[in-house]
Amino acid sequence: MPSEKHKWYIDHTSPGTAHIYGIENYITSFQTEYQQVEIADTEIFGRILFLDGKVQSAESDEYIYHEALVHPAMLMHPAPRRVLVIGGGEGATLREALKYQTIEHLIMVDLDRQVVEHCREYLKSWHQGSFDDRRVTIHYMDARAYLEQETATFDVIISDVPEPVEEGPALKLFTTQYFKLIKDRLSVNGLFALQAGDTCLPFIESHSAINNTLNKVMPFAMPYRAFVPSYNTEWGFILSAPFETALPAAETFDRLVEERKLNLQYFDGETARAMFAVPKDMRKHLNQETRVIDDDNLISIY
């Protein structure tokens, strides 16, 4: 039976399913111009950031999500110097990218200043001071507007924005037009990684549409996933590039991690082997997908 000592937070993962979290203490709750923001302490997963009623990041396992998102792309680039992070308000994506000694300039573009400011104050174990790193520049603006006006290119671009929820602020950050802007802002050896939603059937619809859309733009696009306990699902990501390439072997990833002196809790060669080994039912669904997300044909998770 559920404990009576908790308040219960319900994350509606679909119209017919939900995850519930026992809340020990609410840290903050407020509405910004763009979204509802809540930070709370839970018994099982520690501190959690919720945006618009959905879990974004949990203290106990955020390292799984952020290492999976950041390191495949960063390791595949020979020497990432200029990196663009889109979203990532908790600062943990910055934290992981800044582990690379070659980084000269890391630009973060986030729409919601209030989220970043509250994460800076209340999620210190996530960002670990990354917002104040001298290599970091933060722009509080719409990511598409930034990409449209920016002419410089980047070695790695990482998109860490919420999944495309109807009326949500990131709905147009998964379209053909957006991915073409990304492609134009990548350097010669540039790589792009993004979080791409739930990969478990029957909740894979958004992920498969995002993957098919990106495949129409990028010559190389490879889906992968990692189980995130606080999400209670296999969460999806996509690694892509504007040129044909191949995924390094597990031994190559291990060598690169060692050469670059990375201190990682989750990601290594064996983990990469598992993450990119997409199961048969998921492959079938991805291969049968025909939908393309367009500014005039938006697709939301519900």
In a domain, 281, yes or no: yes
Mean of all residue pLDDT scores within the chain: 94
pLDDT at residue 92 above 80? yes
Shared domain for 35 and 120, answered yes or no, is no
Q: Are residues 49 and 99 in the same domain?
A: no
Confidence grade of residue 299 (pLDDT, cut at 50, 70, 90): confident
Question: Do 46 and 78 belong together in one domain?
Answer: no
Give percent above pLDDT 70 in the chain: 96
Measured between alpha carbons, how far is residue 155 from residues 73, 82, 102, 183 in Å?
Answer: 10, 5, 11, 11
Write the pLDDT tens digit of every residue in 252-270.
Answer: 999 999 999 999 999 999 9
Q: How confident is the model at residue 168 (pLDDT cuts 50, 70, 90)?
A: low
pLDDT band at residue 135 under the 50/70/90 scheme:
very high
Provide the pLDDT for residue 13: 84
Query: What's the whole-number mean pLDDT along residues 165-181?
Result: 84
Domain total in the chain: 2
Residue 1 has pLDDT above 50, yes or no: no
243 within a domain of the structure (yes/no): yes
Comparison of pLDDT for 15 and 259, the residue scoring more: 259
Residues 14 and 142 in one domain: no
CA distance 92 to 42: 19
Helix, strand, or coil here: 297? strand
Same domain, 48 and 128: no
Q: What is the pLDDT of residues 34-50, one digit of tens each?
A: 999 999 999 999 999 99
- Residues designated as active site: 160
Q: Which residue has the higher pLDDT, 164 or 221?
A: 221
Q: Does one domain contain both 130 and 203?
A: yes
Q: Identity (one letter) of the amino acid at 43? A: E
Tens-digit pLDDT profile for residues 202-240: 899 999 999 999 999 999 999 999 999 999 999 999 999
Q: How confident is the model at residue 4 (pLDDT cuts 50, 70, 90)?
A: low
> What range defines the domain where residue 243 resides?
62-288
144 and 16 in a common domain: no
Residue 198 belongs to some domain of the structure: yes
Out of 22-31, 108-117, 165-174, 180-189, pick the least confident. Answer: 165-174
Residue 300 domain-assigned (yes or no): no
Instruction: Judge whether 72 lies within some domain.
Output: yes
Q: What is the pLDDT of residue 293?
A: 93
Position 302 pLDDT exceeds 70:
no
**Helices 205-215 and 176-184, axial angle in degrees (round to 10):** 50
Both 108 and 210 in one domain: the answer is yes
What's the CATH number where 194 sits? 3.40.50.150
- How far apart CA 35 and CA 167 sit, in angstroms, is 10
> Are residues 103 and 52 part of one domain?
no
pLDDT of 29 above 90: yes
Q: What is the CATH number of the domain that holds 24?
A: 2.30.140.10
Residue 2 reports pLDDT greater than 60: no
Domain annotation covers residue 96: yes
Residue 189 has what pLDDT?
A: 94
In angstroms, the CA 40 to CA 118 distance is 12
Q: Are residues 67 and 134 in the same domain?
A: yes
The predicted model gives 105-132 an average pLDDT of: 97
296 domain residue, yes or no: no
Residues 34 and 86 in one domain: no
Contact in structure between 97 and 85 (CB atoms under 8 Å): yes
> Are 36 and 184 in a shared domain?
no
Q: Is residue 273 part of a domain?
A: yes
**Whether the predicted pLDDT of 117 surpasses 90:** yes
